[in-house]
Amino acid sequence: MPLQPTPDDIAAAREALVAADPALARVHAQTPAFEWRLRVGGFEGLFRMIVEQQVSVASAASVWARLREGLGEITPQRLLAHDLDQLRGMGLSRQKATYGQGMARAQMAGEIDLEHLSNLDDAAAIAALTALKGVGLWTAEAYLLMCEGRLDVFPGGDVALQEAIRWADGAEDRPDQKAAYARAEVWRPYRAVATHLLWAWYTGVKRGEIVLETPA
């Protein structure tokens, strides 16, 4: 089971981040306490992330509800008990159904153990996840951050995160993935906490709850 960082864990990490990087002081000051975005892990959690990719929140929720109704439990066995056409009938694209069944076969064959991925360190876990067809680097990093509560993974390819970094630094250009990874080095060993902090700040600005001012 993933271990959710406690409010005290997050608060201490936020203080450490500000001490390590003054550019986060404004972000920290403007962003209220937040809870970790912890989601269900294991096969179900990873498959759901695949289902949610490149579709709206509403569409993803609709497809997931149809899958739950059609499959019952979301397990490798249940997924492999249905052919691609049946899965498409539940709202999945053929590509996502194929990816899901490939993940299910890998889990059942012991090529990956999604229920005990926490036994691997971050780098090994990312390598194991990205070896699965359909699981890119962002998906792997986001899974470890949101489904396992890991404190030092960083989804550098996330556009909202890159934009929040640009705001924090008062930069003209948004950093690309390579630059975002380099920028985040100072946030170790709490890069995932910095990610949550910047996401929360970004969301607050977009909702009009936080006024974005250009730093002096």
Q: Could you report the per-residue pLDDT of 142-184, keeping only the tens digit for each?
A: 999 999 999 999 999 999 999 999 999 999 999 999 999 999 9
Q: Encode pLDDT of 26-69 as tens digits.
A: 999 999 998 888 899 999 999 999 999 988 999 999 999 999 99
Q: What is the pLDDT of residue 38?
A: 87
Distance CA 192, CA 154 (A): 6
**Percentage above 70 pLDDT, the chain:** 97
Q: What is the DSSP letter of 186?
A: G
**Is the link from the previous residue into 2 a cis peptide, with omega within 30 of 0?**
no
* 97 CB-near residues (< 8 Å, 6+ apart): 84, 87, 88
d(Cα 97, Cα 93) in Å, to the nearest integer?
6
pTM to 2 decimal places: 0.90
- CB of 63 closer than 8 Å to CB of 91: yes
Q: What is the pLDDT of residues 108-138, one digit of tens each?
A: 999 999 999 989 999 999 999 999 999 999 9
Structure tokens at 35: 């809870």
Residue 71 has φ and ψ, to the nearest 5°, of -100, -25
DSSP letter at 205 equals H
Phi then psi for residue 61, to 5 deg, are -65, -40
Question: What number is the average pLDDT over the span 59-88?
Answer: 95
Radius of gyration of the chain (CA): 19
